[in-house]
A and B are shown apart, each in its own frame.
Chain A
């Protein structure tokens, strides 16, 4: 899922400059799961804003609403009545939701309340780690289900590098060496031989190097 975290209150307040009627709009999917921008967090931010406004003599009226997803038009449409008449919408979705909200409710001023961090897995309660970099050309079949693009600090395709020591990466003793993980997994799978194959330099045009990406599924377009 997309992992994000709430911005500091002060930054959100600054982005509201000049606004009197504000909607805090949550997203019920990824950011709700990672406890950054779901219905519960909407209630919390709205409450924080109301209290801060009272203390700072700011005249703002805060209302709350949450859509199941802010990256789908059908769900965004459910916020129509809530958005109406507002000066600013504070979107608690990821960067995708914020932009899609701004596009679908043009010319409404939409500001973010969440920093979108990465695509990750939920390792433990309150703990997430980056597992995918959406490079557009998945190599997991050959790396024992451990992604060298997202989880190796250098995104090496033929690792490990000389910075790997005791299973950890040289950038940080807490960071696991992805290539050590790949080696261990491939060994357990009895497929170590696969690692002797050298991967040639790959094309990164499916990743961000090819510019903003777009996917069109003709079979789905009717």
Chain B
């Protein structure tokens, strides 16, 4: 069962980063020797408009503690509306997670431009802190539902239902 305590584990976070902005920002963060948690696994995508809900679900199903999509700033998408499409998709995925019994905070969308290396660092730090607060993904550790009516029965959540965090 769940032998890893909240807060004292190194989360595994999957980041889907747009080639035109966030992936470049992550690259820049490296070039600038900025330090940030090694918790994130970055997946390059040609545009966040390529994202689909199933990709976020699969990442969590396969054990990621948190997953986020990072796209261009509003109005800056190379393909015009890809970032808006991805951003609109994420609340739907959060709703699915609530139904499944996972905390919706495990999924998020961010805007990070190519020049915003510092912003990229902050985003990774935020998601890492969030994953630590939520604890390990119960799908990986064999825990029960952590969200919704079934969570209480299993004694999953300690601090009650959470609000949806803003990106």
Q: Is the beta-carbon distance between B102 and A55 smaller than 8 angstroms?
A: yes
Would A48 and B57 count as touching, CB distance under 8 A?
yes
Contact among B52, B57, B58, B144 for A55, CB-based, below 8 A: B144
Q: Which of B58, B144, B145, B150 contacts A47 (CB 8 A)?
A: B58
Asked if A51 contacts B61 (CB within 8 A), the reply is yes
The answer to whether B61 touches A47, judged by C-beta atoms less than 8 angstroms apart, is yes
- Min CB–CB distance A102 → chain B (angstroms): 25
Known A-B contacts A47-B61, A50-B61; A55 and B100 likewise in contact (beta carbons under 8 Å): yes
In the bound complex, do residue A51 and residue B57 qualify as a contact, i.e. CB atoms below 8 Å apart?
yes
**Residues of A within 8 A of B (CB-CB), count:** 15
- The complex places the Cα of A10 from the Cα of B144 at a distance, in Å, of 16
A54–B62 CA distance with the chains assembled, in angstroms:
12
A9 to B97, CA, bound (A): 10
Asked whether B99 lies within 8 Å of A47 as measured between CB atoms, the reply is no
B37 lies within 8 A of chain A by Cβ: no
A9 engages B54 (CB within 8 Å): no
CB contact list, B132-167 vs A, under 8 A: 138-139, 143-145, 150
Q: Is the CB of A55 within 8 A of B145?
A: yes
Number of contacts between A and B (CB, 8 Å)? 46
Q: Which of A40, A43, A50, A52 contacts B101 (CB 8 A)?
A: A52
Do A48 and B100 form a contact, CB below 8 Å, given A54-B139, A55-B143?
A: yes
A40 vs B53: C-alpha distance when bound (angstroms): 10
In the bound complex, CA of A52 to CA of B138 (Å) = 11
By CB atoms of chain B within 10 A, which of A8, A40, A47 has the most?
A: A47
Interface string of A38-82 (1 = CB under 8 A from B): 001001100110111011110000000000000000000000000
Q: Is the interface of A mostly helix, strand, loop or mixed?
A: helix
- B101, A55: Cβ atoms closer than 8 Å: yes
Residues of A within 8 A of B58 (CB): 47
Question: Is residue B45 contacting chain A, with contact meaning CB distance below 8 A?
Answer: no
Q: Among A48, A50, A54, A56, point to the contact of B96 (Cβ < 8 A).
A: A48
- B15 interface hit (Cβ, 8 Å): no
Q: Across the interface, which residues of B come within 8 angstroms of A48, CB to CB?
A: 57, 96, 99-100
Q: Does B117 contact A (CB under 8 A)?
A: no
On whether A44 and B139 interact (CB within 8 A), knowing A9-B99, A55-B145, the answer reads no
Which residues of chain A are near B99, meaning CB under 8 Å?
8-10, 48, 52
Question: Does A47 lie within 8 Å of B57, measured CB to CB?
Answer: yes
Which B residues lie within 8 Å of A52 (CB)? 99-101
Residues of chain B from 92 to 134 with CB closer than 8 A to chain A in the complex? 96, 99-102
Residue B60 interfacial (CB < 8 Å): yes
Q: Is the CB of A51 within 8 A of B54?
A: no
> How far is A94 from B57 in the complex, measured between Cα atoms in Å?
25
Binding site for B on A (CB under 8 A): 8-10, 40, 43-44, 47-48, 50-52, 54-57
Interface residues of B (CB under 8 A from A): 52-54, 57-58, 60-61, 96, 99-102, 138-139, 143-145, 150
Question: Can you name 29 A-B residue pairings with CB atoms under 8 Å?
Answer: A9-B96, A10-B99, A44-B53, A44-B54, A44-B57, A44-B96, A47-B54, A47-B57, A47-B58, A48-B57, A48-B96, A48-B100, A50-B61, A51-B57, A51-B61, A51-B100, A51-B101, A51-B102, A51-B139, A52-B100, A54-B139, A55-B101, A55-B102, A55-B145, A55-B150, A56-B101, A56-B144, A56-B150, A57-B144
Across the A-B interface, the 5 shortest Cβ-Cβ residue pairs: A9-B99, A55-B101, A47-B57, A55-B145, A52-B100
